[in-house]
Structure 1
Amino acid sequence: MKLVQSGTQNYQVLIVDRDSMSGDLLAMALRRVCDCDAMILDCADLLRELAIRKIDIVVISSDLNSIPGTGFDLAYKVNSIHPEVFVVMLLNCATSESVITAFRSGARAVFSRQHSMSEFADCIDRVKRGFIWAGREETNSLLEAFKNIPAPSVTPTGDAPTLSAREQQVVQYAAKGKTNRAIANELALSEHTVKNYLFRAFEKLGVSNRVELLFYLTIRGHSFAPADSNDPVADLSLEA
């Protein structure tokens, strides 16, 4: 059942929250700050609504109908049936497990309820512009989890983008946290050549940096092993 709707704006946002009051507050914040049409919806009506009208972003609470984690299942269904719709997950508590589960469910962003309404509007705006979004605590939680997740097998399967053998090697080292210099030393290449391989792999995979690479691999079910204790730690947000 539709509860709140505003006039037609530049893009459409649906909010499926744990209760109508909190959902209404989020919708009002978006209508006030963003150039969007925000409305709240019951979870039972979401897929039907997506089937009959164009929606840009869906905001889903991780807990629906007072049942923890049910929002992740709904996010997965939305992503499977409507991959063109960006999903933002609302988390009551942003643990490493919940953040990773959200991205693996197909979320484009995770937002903790502890953050402000202005940050929520910023999250929606960035997602609309094609970015992957997470707050500082959520990002730290996610990156901390990556230290303990197993090394990816990046051999392409099915319709996955095809990486050359050397690109696969470079991506695997990058995903384990090695710097360009360390990768160059491991593979007897120049740092410039390593950077070129990374940029080519990024282009094929549709990512723009190492953080997005880790998201890409994790969301698609690859597992990671921590880098060796002597491996240098990369600055994931800055180095290509």
Structure 2
Amino acid sequence: MIHILVAETSPLASQLLADGLRRSRTPKFEVSIPPSLSPDACLAEIARTRPNVAVLALNLQNEPLSAMEVIRDLHSQGVETKCIVLLEQSDRNLVIENFRAGASGVFPRSHSPQMLARCIESVHAGQIWASSQELHYVLAELRKAKPINIVDAKGRVLLSVREAQVVRLVAEGLSNREISQHLSLSEHTVKNYLFRIFEKLGVSTRVELVLYSMARREEQQVVPRQCTVPMLAR
């Protein structure tokens, strides 16, 4: 059972979407709606209930781009709920900014409820949901940015063996709790490792870390088997 929070542009739209998802046979969803659809209320409800996945309208209560602010705040609070943002159209800048904020997927409203159920299942499994064109937008933008410094000026590797293990497990879609269990560490220690990794590599979210890794691999044209990035292109 996957716990989902749905926050659409209105209570009626939220209820219709929630009802549609509840009818899904595979996978099965437990769907909740926040008591208010304001950005602050959505943030508070997600932080309180910790759903597996949140499906958010881009403009909550008609506040422009408010879903991105909610996602940024969730990341700053250490909430591991994965977020999918509903878009009216696949606008290049909106796609880039949503992934930069930390969204795990973007989903066009024109697609079917069955496709949304598939999107939620994939994101819950640790994948990134984007069409081939949307992924192209993001990778093209990342190539313009300062590259990740994997080694220092003397060619020494910046990441320790343990940090590299954490990066690999993040890329496989594992949560902090799952990483802590896999490496026999406390969740607090995993968070400290991630803080240092973000600082060393110049990234700020888990999604950005995975996407930067994808951009780097594309440039190198060599993808190590053990570091396969989970990604689903529609």
TM-score normalised according to structure 2 size: 0.62
Partner Cα separation in structure 2 for residue 70 and residue 84 of structure 1 = 19
Shift of the alpha carbon at 1:30? 1.7
- The one of 221, 225, 228 aligned to 1:234: 221
Identity rate, percent = 23
Describe the SS at the equivalent of 1:65: helix
Per the alignment, residue 37 of structure 1 pairs with 30
Describe the SS at the equivalent of 1:133: strand
Asked if structure 2 preserves the Cα contact closer than 8 Å seen for 1:103 and 1:219, the reply is no
Per the alignment, residue 207 of structure 1 pairs with 171
Asked if structure 2 preserves the Cα contact closer than 8 Å seen for 1:14 and 1:39, the reply is yes
Q: Which has the higher contact order (CA 8 A, sep 6+)?
A: 2
Alignment partner of 1:80 is 2:76: yes
- Report 1:97-136 matches (<5 A): 97-136=93-132
- Report 1:44-63 matches (<5 A): 44-63=40-59
Partner Cα separation in structure 1 for residue 67 and residue 78 of structure 2 = 16
More helix as a share of residues: 2
Partner Cα separation in structure 1 for residue 164 and residue 110 of structure 2 = 33
Partner Cα separation in structure 2 for residue 23 and residue 95 of structure 1 = 23
Partner Cα separation in structure 2 for residue 51 and residue 208 of structure 1 = 24
In structure 2, relative to structure 1, the CA distance for the partners of 1:66 and 1:52 (3 Å cut) is: closer
Per the alignment, residue 161 of structure 1 pairs with none
- The one of 133, 144, 168 aligned to 2:140: 144
Which is greater in Rg?
1
Describe the SS at the equivalent of 2:32: strand
Asked if structure 2 preserves the Cα contact closer than 8 Å seen for 1:95 and 1:141, the reply is no
In structure 2, relative to structure 1, the CA distance for the partners of 1:139 and 1:22 (3 Å cut) is: farther
Number of aligned pairs? 183
Partner Cα separation in structure 2 for residue 113 and residue 38 of structure 1 = 18
When the two chains are superposed, the root-mean-square deviation of aligned CA atoms in Å is 3.7
Partner Cα separation in structure 2 for residue 57 and residue 111 of structure 1 = 13
Asked if structure 2 preserves the Cα contact closer than 8 Å seen for 1:88 and 1:108, the reply is yes
Gaps of at least 5 residues in structure 1 are 1-9, 157-163, 169-198, 210-215
TM-score normalised according to structure 1 size: 0.60
- The one of 24, 40, 51 aligned to 2:15: 24
Give the ranges of 4+ consecutive aligned residues of structure 1 lying more than 6 Å apart after TM superposition: 235-239
Asked if structure 2 preserves the Cα contact closer than 8 Å seen for 1:104 and 1:218, the reply is no
In structure 2, relative to structure 1, the CA distance for the partners of 1:232 and 1:64 (3 Å cut) is: closer
Asked if structure 2 preserves the Cα contact closer than 8 Å seen for 1:15 and 1:23, the reply is yes
Partner Cα separation in structure 1 for residue 73 and residue 5 of structure 2 = 15
In structure 2, relative to structure 1, the CA distance for the partners of 1:116 and 1:148 (3 Å cut) is: farther
Per the alignment, residue 15 of structure 1 pairs with 6
Shift of the alpha carbon at 1:93? 2.6
In structure 2, relative to structure 1, the CA distance for the partners of 1:202 and 1:101 (3 Å cut) is: farther
Asked if structure 1 preserves the Cα contact closer than 8 Å seen for 2:50 and 2:79, the reply is no
The letter of the residue matching 1:204 is V
